[in-house]
Amino acid sequence: MKTDLISRRSFLSVVGAVGAAAALTACGGAVSSTASSAASSEAASESVELIVFAAASLTETLNAIAQDYSAENPGVTFRFNFDSSGTLKTQIQEGADCDLFLSAGQKQMNQLDITASADVNTDGLDFVDPSTRVDLLENKVVLCVPEGSDKGIDSFDALAAHLKAQDILFCMGNSDVPVGQYTQKILAYYGLDEEALAAAGVITYGSNVKEVTTQISEGSVDAGVVYCTDAYSAGLTPVDEATAEMCGQVIYPAAVLKAAPNAEAAKEFLAYLQTDRAATVFEGVGFTAM
């Protein structure tokens, strides 16, 4: 498996502008008080809380990167909303405050991007600043089974055979979740009828990739499809990896929103996410930086 996450750096001890102003003594108490007040205002104006909506599979890595970023940029804090990309897209569409959106699939980003094809952005939504949009990461779709499983599910071929025999319980993401959409493509690749399998009680669902991972880890299902990165975070060892022919590339786009409360700060953080330092964290759990 991949190397461990790089150690999180301790927060730097930073002397703020207010402290510096308070240290001035040359011009007496009144001037010192004025300088301190000005410095306090300046420090307050530099404080920002970035609101980041991100796919659930980015939970561990973004928390680690944010800790490093805040250490290097005092005053910048984060409010993360981790969930399925479909849920996040809906929340943005309904008016939730958000500075930066990181999706686990192109579809959800395209549905918010007025420059995307009308075949995908069917409602003509215009939430994304297209000048900031980047393809940030690539992930892999993998097949996992519970530890100690004796079902003989050691490949996608074996999974398909068991699904056809309807002798296992398989977990996948909902149809509005990117990992679920990739899984649907895999089922179609093997000529499997998802609706019929679900009706037969062979398939159970998770509302995001973390729920699928939990069901596998707890042994409540015989197999499930998740991302390589989530398998790593949960301590699961994948038994097979889907090819591009089976489900396409798993690309994570990112973009600042047009109505972002902190657009400039969000752009700076997005630029940081494309640095080698951030890539080291992403690649430590199985992502490929693009």
DSSP string, 63-99: HHHHHHHHHHSTTEEEEEEEE-HHHHHHHHHTT---S
Residue 221 clears pLDDT 50, i.e. is over it? yes
Give the bridge partners for 257, in sequence order. Answer: 128
The pTM score is: 0.77
Residues 6+ apart with CB under 8 A from 259: 127
pLDDT band at 46 (very low <50, low <70, confident <90, very high): confident
Residue 247 has phi, psi (to 5 degrees) of -145, 5
Residue 42 has phi, psi (to 5 degrees) of -65, -45
pLDDT on residue 132: 98
Residue 128 clears pLDDT 80, i.e. is over it? yes
Residue 20 clears pLDDT 50, i.e. is over it? no
pLDDT band at 248 (very low <50, low <70, confident <90, very high): very high
Residue 125 clears pLDDT 50, i.e. is over it? yes
User: What value does the mean pLDDT of the chain take?
Assistant: 87
Residue 178 clears pLDDT 60, i.e. is over it? yes
Count of beta carbons in the 10 Å neighbourhood of residue 208: 26
C-alpha triplet 224, 226, 232: angle, nearest 5°: 115
Residue 141 clears pLDDT 80, i.e. is over it? yes
Residue 266 and residue 128 in contact, taking contact as beta carbons nearer than 8 Å: no
- 286 Rama class: left (phi>0) / alpha (psi -120 to 50) / beta: left
Residue 29 clears pLDDT 80, i.e. is over it? no
- 109 Rama class: left (phi>0) / alpha (psi -120 to 50) / beta: alpha
Residue 16 clears pLDDT 90, i.e. is over it? no
Among 193, 249, 166, 222, CA closest to 184: 193
pLDDT in tens, 103-119: 999 999 999 999 999 99
Give the bridge partners for 54, in sequence order. Answer: 82, 102
